[in-house]
A = this chain, B = another copy of it.
Amino acid sequence: MLIVQKFGGSSVANAERVKNVAGRVADAYRAGHDVVVVVSAQGDTTDELIEKAAEVNPRASKRELDMLLTAGEQMSAALLAMALKAMGLPSVSLLGWQIGLKTDSNHGNARIKSIDTERLTFELSKRNIVILAGFQGVNKFEDITTLGRGGSDTTAVAVAAVLRADLCQIFTDVDGVYTADPRIVKGAKKLEEITYDEMLELATLGAQVLHNRSVEMAKKYNVDLEVCSSLERKPGTKVREVAGMEKMLIRGVARDNNVARVTIIGIPDVPGMAYKLFAVLSAAKINVDIILQSIGRDGSKDIVFTISADQKEEAMAALKRVEMIEKAKDVLVDTDVTKLSIVGAGMESHPGVASKMFEALFDQNINIQMIATSEIKISVLIDKKDSDRAVQAVHDIFFTD
């Protein structure tokens, strides 16, 4: 088998952990597999480098930040290659440009355009373990770029796709995908498998195990993913196109506390109003999630929508550029909210799922502010103070035997 393994920054934070990772890699190699490993920068390296940059230039260009930060992955890749060699295993570290990992020129958040497999297959043909510096690529001008959040996951999936790897293992500090966050919810169970679409919804909804972009890419190129623990040696959760013979009704409960609810009261009810509003937000790269619009009355209406709480200030600045907002009675922002969601490909054929979720919340006397549904998920917006109770109650109603 050809296996791509990805280890995050905490997995390679110091010499001892680098050696531990080398042990995991060695197991796969000694079992006869060809292995490509993608690593992130060690521990807090990236944060330390960002701090260094801020000391010389608080508004450093993204091009130079990419140049600075990619040194982090370069160092951890070299160290892991050394650790493997100390175990007597042939290994070679490679950087983004050395495997022709071409991206667009969007420094700090670049998209992968292509990867040249020549060097990779050459090294694998020699039975070398290839250690790749994750998160990095080069644009067509040969300037170094970075792939943004979850960039090393994306590197791993992209490399697995072009090499047609049999499996792409993402090692993290959790040992798989759970029916809910086990740190919050009693009785949360590890899933053996999950579909790409379910994982996408869970990632978006704040499960934070895998970054969305890597799951989207895995789905597009049909790369089998496995989320495993970098600490314990046991099976993780498989992410693939079809998961399980019988679809589970719901796969998991997720919550996202990084949400802001924006309420615009009494905006003029004229054609194109919603279009202009959301076009401005879109131009400012603000993702709008749940949208609720009141029925027009007296020539005006109310609009409520949610965004990521991180983008609150940018969103308010963008809204100031919409003329009609001036005519609104009020614009309110509330970050004391949580989005609670259940996800499962099975729910589309089970109409009772939503009412079961609402029942669990009603039993806890938790008020639902907004509702959004898709074929494989139901999300509700609730008070942040109810968040822990809510996720436990909803999990209990679906997962308690």
Contact = CB atoms under 8 A, between A and B. Distances in A.
A65 B75 CA distance: 9
Contacts of A78: 53, 64-65, 67-68, 71
A320 to B, nearest CB: 29
A135 to B, nearest CB: 14
Contacts of A85: 57, 60-61, 64
Given A15-B55, A98-B142, A142-B119, A77 B82 contact: no
A61 to B, nearest CB: 6
A83 B56 contact: yes
Contacts of A95: 67, 144
A152 interface: no
Interface string A156-192: 0000000000000000000000000000000000000
A89 to B, nearest CB: 11
A19 to B, nearest CB: 6
Interface in A182-214: none
Contact of A86 (B22, B57, B82): B57
Contact of A57 (B55, B83, B93, B144): B83
A9 to B, nearest CB: 15
Contacts of A92: 63
A360 interface: no
A93 B81 contact: no
Interface in A114-134: 119
Nearest to A66: B78
A64 B84 CA distance: 11
A144 to B, nearest CB: 8
Majority DSSP secondary structure for residues of A touching B: helix
Nearest to A19: B56
Contact of A74 (B15, B55, B61, B70): B70
A290 interface: no
Contact of A15 (B15, B18, B56, B67): B56
A60 B85 CA distance: 8
B56 A79 contact: yes
Given A71-B74, A74-B71, A119-B142, A52 B64 contact: no
Nearest to A77: B67
Given A74-B70, A74-B74, A18 B56 contact: yes
A358 interface: no
Contacts of A82: 53, 56-57, 60-61, 64-65, 68
Contacts of A75: 49, 52, 68, 71
Given A57-B86, A65-B78, 4 more contacts: A49-B75, A53-B79, A65-B82, A68-B82
Interface of A: 15, 18-19, 22, 49, 52-53, 55-61, 63-65, 67-68, 70-72, 74-75, 77-83, 85-86, 92-93, 95, 97-98, 119, 142-144
27 contacts: A15-B52, A15-B55, A19-B56, A22-B56, A53-B78, A53-B79, A53-B82, A56-B82, A56-B83, A57-B82, A57-B83, A59-B86, A60-B85, A64-B82, A64-B85, A67-B77, A67-B81, A67-B93, A68-B74, A68-B79, A70-B74, A71-B72, A71-B74, A71-B75, A71-B78, A97-B97, A119-B142
